[in-house]
Amino acid sequence: MTITTQEAAAERALQALEDSRSSVRLRAALAVGSTPDPRFVDKLVERCAVEPEFFVRDMLTWALTRHPVSRTLPRLLQAVRSPQAQARSQALHTLSKIGDRQAWPAITRALLTDADDEVARSAWRAAVLLVPEDAESALAVVLATQLGRGDRETQLSLSRALVALGEVMVPAVRAATAGAEPLVRAHAIATERLLRDPDTGFGFAIEEAKRVVALGPAGQAGQ
């Protein structure tokens, strides 16, 4: 197959990304990633912002990782500032897959505390992968402000992010165990327990932490 033919096939695949059938869009994303061309990056990022199917979005991310970082990084850094929540979330997810620490300055406090849970969770995952060592403590402090937030899945994502930082997260999380909000205290206690015992399931850890909080000082003394 000549280069011209390959490019023509990739162009058809880009058009197929708009198809109403998710199976067609999935194959199209695979085709574009299999024949990477910097000219296709904009279209891939744009599609990430509106693609409704998880598996197709994941393939779009894979396709972006197949392209030169010098081309994808600037475009993704624009997308994390988009007013569209899915655009921000998917761009952050893709940045975490690329793993280039040049993206770290774009992981702002605003993204780490984004009102949209999916955006915030993507930001947490990207942050712990991209953070420089000398910024880990400051990141832990910001992440700790989100303790007690959201549903069980969101809380688990935050705990995993904090645990990924290791011992550096302990001061910020321990301070949260003394807060006035029971949900925050329970989440903080459960997170620290996960750091100490990674084999503890989050469900068990959070329920045990809630029991400790409910018992008050007597319960904490027994830990």
Question: Over the stretch 145-191, which tens digit does the pLDDT of each residue have?
Answer: 999 999 999 999 999 999 999 999 999 999 998 877 888 999 999 89
Residue 142 within a domain: yes
Tell me how many domains the chain contains.
1
Please report which confidence band the pLDDT of residue 82 belongs to, taking 50, 70 and 90 as the band edges.
very high
| pLDDT tens figures, 60-71 | 999 999 999 999
Does residue 45 form part of some domain?
no
Domain limits at 151?
Answer: 133-216
Q: Does residue 171 lie in a domain region?
A: yes
Domain membership of residue 84 (yes or no) is no
Does the pLDDT value for residue 43 go beyond 50?
yes
The answer to whether residue 56 sits within a structural domain is no
pLDDT of residue 181: 86
C-alpha closest to that of 65 among 107, 26, 100: 100
The answer to whether 213 touches 197, Cβ cutoff 8 Å, is no
Residue 212 lies in a domain: yes
Indicate if the pLDDT at residue 210 is higher than 90.
no
- Domain membership of residue 116 (yes or no) is no
139 belongs to a structural domain = yes
**CB atoms inside a 10 Å sphere around CB 5:** 9
